[in-house]
Amino acid sequence: MEQLTKQWIVDISVDNLVSNSHIVEAAHELVSQQVVAFPTETVYGLGGNATSDLAIERIFEAKGRPADNPLIVHIAERAQLKDCVKEIPPLADKLMSAFWPGPLTIVFKHNGNLSKRVTAGLSTVAVRMPDHPIALALIKAAGIPLAAPSANRSGRPSPTLASHVNEDLKGKIKGIIDGGATGLGLESTVVACTEDKVTILRPGGITKEDLEAVCGHVFYDFALKKEDEAPTSPGMKYVHYAPHAPLTLVEGTDAFLHKTAEAAYEKGLRVGLLVTYDYQFATKVHKKVVMGSRDDLTTIAHNLYEALRTFAEGEVDVIFSEVFPEHGLGRAIMNRLKKAAGGRMVTESDN
């Protein structure tokens, strides 16, 4: 059943956000087990009381999210960890000191205080402290840890503007705090820590190189071992970030990318092209969206989801995108593009 979705515009530059009337009202809705979308430095999150089964059920219902996909819990102060986790491994403590608040999520053993819907029945929970004044103020005002996946319908590109949230979730949630555009534009890096090992489960704004500068060698584990296995981290199992038309990644020269797009155009398909300034020369396509320059991956990351959302439903039949080197921030960008494409990729060397 649809509900009225309130919208609060909050200026992040104002003093004492915790007592801001809009923040206080939104926090009251959260305490009342409603769900509210809010900006973070990564993407907009859909927040709900992490200890309430009802609030978490409302998150899953609004998003249409698979039940075995765990949620990330957001806190505003280190002291809130005791409400969520059993223990803090030394490596995790080291990473928190280096990167919190910020776009780093750490998987811990939980202490049973959280809703089982948050943890998807696992013994672990993913926690982070966002680096955004509105997010921190909202969590402090509510006085509870917030489970907060991205504020979009499951499978769609994550929202980097309040208008994206409105497009996907209007009528399905209690409210949206509009704090302007998010910063990074990609979700947080997710890591698991043992006594002597850090493993990246989902790449993000904190790169492997960033982590290794703090804690030594870092490992990767992006895939599940079994199809029926519950994912430890969001982003490990399901297709995410998909635009309205099928996306195919094209690995090769700029000439090969444009040849591939033009071949589809000549077959009578309405073709969309997702490119950088470096690859944008004239091509027979119906719509071309430029994300930025290959020399500035930070801008590509910031613009990626907005670019994917630019292709309106029914506007094109297929979308082709260039690919990026998989190191540094490029790993996170390619992780999202591969998920958005559902694994579809053509390679020049194969042709």
Task: Establish whether 241 is an annotated binding residue.
Answer: yes
Position of tokens 């205080």?
A: 113
260 annotated to bind ligand: no
Return d(Cα 125, Cα 106) in angstroms, integer: 8
Is 21 assigned to a binding site?
A: no
Is 65 part of any known ligand binding site? yes
158 labelled ligand-binding: yes
74 appears as a binding residue in the annotation: yes
CA distance 227 to 194: 25
150 is in an annotated binding site: yes
Residue 344 annotated in ligand binding: no
CB 191 within 8 A of CB 200: yes
Q: Which of 247, 246, 298, 243 is nearest to 276 (CA)?
A: 298
Q: Is 69 annotated as a binding residue?
A: yes
* Cα-based angle 292, 311, 9 (whole degrees, multiple of 5): 80
Q: Rounded to the nearest 5°, which phi and psi values hold at 279?
A: -115, 15
Q: Which two tokens stand for residue 40?
A: 């973070």
**202 known ligand binder:** yes
- Cα 299 from chain centroid? 16
- C-alpha 251/C-alpha 307 separation (Å) is 19
Q: Which residue blocks in 67-219 are alpha helix, DSSP H? A: 90-99, 116-119, 133-142, 162-169, 208-215
| Residues annotated within a binding site for L-threonine | 42, 74, 128, 148, 188
| Residues annotated within a binding site | 42, 65, 69, 74, 124, 128, 148, 150, 158, 188, 202, 241
| Residues annotated within a binding site for ATP | 65, 69, 124, 150, 158, 202, 241
